[in-house]
Structure 1
């Protein structure tokens, strides 16, 4: 392998993460070599930079607040229900059971984020939104039968340090392991499947996860599976080592571009259809705005806890 990897919190091979608070964290490899962790990258933030470097800056460097979007919160809710569904005995994993989990999970999310209550103009709008979520859960049962599955892990946090010192990390929705040891990585999407011209971008996230698992376990996942609950389509891909080496090269090139933007403070805006949903148009040059001065933060100050969603660099 081109990289030596570890879970820096509990490395089974004796590697451990350290840090004195004065500089970058470091990882100590099994042979006693110490190297700094230069930064961290997740599939979401990598996707942000590829979509629009300025968006990455606003989320990671500036850490600007964003309003919760109904579609995103619905995705969080559906994911939560599907995770809880597998807590039930296999025979009880039915469409009716999933619908019964919907309101309790919504109340739990509201307890954690009371601002979600302000997403809707009235009760009718909220009920329509909940019914859309219920429809996605119904559609899930047409895509696979959860009574026949026993996931090895759900909402699995993974991380690996490449030999460049770049920490890759993220959360995998579901990991299935066959009796012969074959691994299937499953990710739920509450949107619709992309057209053929956008499939490569969708698969990048899954290859990112596959690379991390390969570095951690020494085994290339047999299957990557994206389940689009918006229209019931499934995108499957079987990676090999060459795929994952190419993904690693792409990630390194992406990180070098991020480092260059940090160094030069040049964060270019890139217009796309996703601009319609961006909270930061008022600060974007593409819409006549002016970004604020770039905060003077060192990379070490932005390597935060694993639960952070905007946790890179």
Structure 2
């Protein structure tokens, strides 16, 4: 059974980056070829999620390393095309070496033997009054004895320059808003752990932050709604175009998007365009 249409931080990020990218992913749902970088992140996230299934004494780097191959095989079982990404032995070794490196960095940042998360890969969803349904999956949630809440997100890339990284901060404040509305208590701390270089970004959400993120979400949803009703999701060229999977469908590269089906818009967004 499919879920009701909702806005997640990643889909919000797509629209902010390029409305056409958002459309092709969310409405047309065009397939994208698998690539190593996002699947490296998925693999490392899976290991760190299930590491906490083990007794504290077993939450070691050696245990995490041993979990990589089974976690990868589980991913391949769900999507056999992933096997082609590491068919070459040298590519496979490089891929798993990168994954082990990310895990080793994690163990320099935290001691998982001392942590007992209350939630891992926690699905959260909330209907914003007179706005979109919001949805997300939080990597890790911890609740202290005094009730204070900490949210943690793992990033397998490197720490961004201070002038960048706004999408990750948007994501964390988005989650903070969801948690505050669902639990009736604002998270005291949001932390981003960058596992390529060991950097940490810490946020302490304020009243102003929560007001701002709700305002941003509502403005973004108004822009999405306007684009949907006009059946017009325009490309927004940037340096990120070089890594886009949809160049063949983008006018900026001489491509043509498929005809936009109003019924698909309504199914994907819950917005009537008839």
Q: Report the TM-score, using the length of structure 2 for normalisation.
A: 0.94
Deviations 1:156-179 (A, max 9, x none): 000111111421011000001111
Q: 2:68 matched to 1:102?
A: yes
Indicate the residue corresponding to 2:41 in structure 1: 75
- Deviation digits for residues 113-159 of structure 1, max 9, x if unmatched? 11101113511211111111111001100111111111111010001
Report the Cα offset of residue 298 of structure 1: 5.5
Q: Provide the C-alpha distance between the structure 1 equivalents of 2:221 and 2:189, rounded to a whole number of angstroms.
A: 26
2: CA distance, partners of 1:275 / 1:105 = 31
CA RMSD across the alignment: 1.6
SS in 2 for 1:226: strand
Residues 246-290 of structure 1 deviation map (CA, whole Å, 9 limit, x = unaligned): 101110000000011011122111122222221101111221222
Q: 2:244 aligns with which of 272, 278, 281?
A: 278
Query: Which residue is 1:287 aligned to?
Result: 253
State the match for 1:217 in structure 2.
Answer: 183
1:296 aligns with 2:266: no
> Quick one: which of 241, 244, 256 aligns to 2:222?
256
- Is residue 133 from structure 1 mapped to residue 99 from structure 2 by the alignment? yes
Query: Which has a greater percent of helix?
Result: 2
**Which residue of the partner structure matches residue 160 of structure 2?**
194
Task: Say whether 1:66 aligns with 2:32.
Answer: yes
1:299 and 1:271 mapped to 2: Cα distance?
23
Give TM-score scaled by structure 1 length. 0.82
Contact kept, 8 Å, 2:231 with 2:262, in 1: the verdict is no
Stretches of structure 2 lacking an aligned partner (at least 5 in a row)? none
8 Å Cα contact 1:61/1:297 also seen in 2: no
Task: Name the residue aligned to 2:78.
Answer: 112
Alignment: residue pair count = 268
Contact residue 158 and residue 195 of structure 2 kept, 8 A: yes
Question: 1:193–1:233: 8 Å Cα contact kept in structure 2?
Answer: yes
**In structure 1, C-alpha distance between the alignment counterparts of 2:255 and 2:231, rounded to whole Å:** 17
Q: Is the Cα contact below 8 Å between 2:118 and 2:142 reproduced in 1?
A: yes
Q: Distance in 1 between matches of 2:127 and 2:49?
A: 28
1:170-216 residue CA offsets vs partner (Å, 9 max, x unmatched)? 10000011111110110011111111111333200000000011111
Q: Cα 1:226–1:258, aligned 2, differ >3 Å: closer, same or farther?
A: same
- The one-character-per-residue Cα deviations of 1:57-109 (angstroms, maximum 9, x if unpaired) are 00011111101111111110000000111111111111111101111111111
Question: 2:140·2:152 contact (CA, 8 Å) conserved in 1?
Answer: yes
Contact 1:53 1:270 in 2 (8 A): yes
Residue 158 of structure 1: which of 121, 124, 128 is its match? 124
Q: What is the CA–CA distance in structure 2 between the aligned matches of 1:59 and 1:65, rounded to whole Å?
A: 8
User: How far off its partner does 1:242 sit?
Assistant: 2.1
Aligned equivalents of 1:68, 1:220: Cα separation in 2? 37
State the alpha-carbon separation in 1 of the partners of residues 144 and 21 from structure 2: 39
Contact 1:220–1:241 at 8 Å: present in 2 too? no
- For 1:299 and 1:275, the matched residues in 2 are separated by 24
Which of 127, 136, 146 pairs up with 1:180?
A: 146
* Aligned mates of 2:108, 2:244 — CA distance in 1: 33
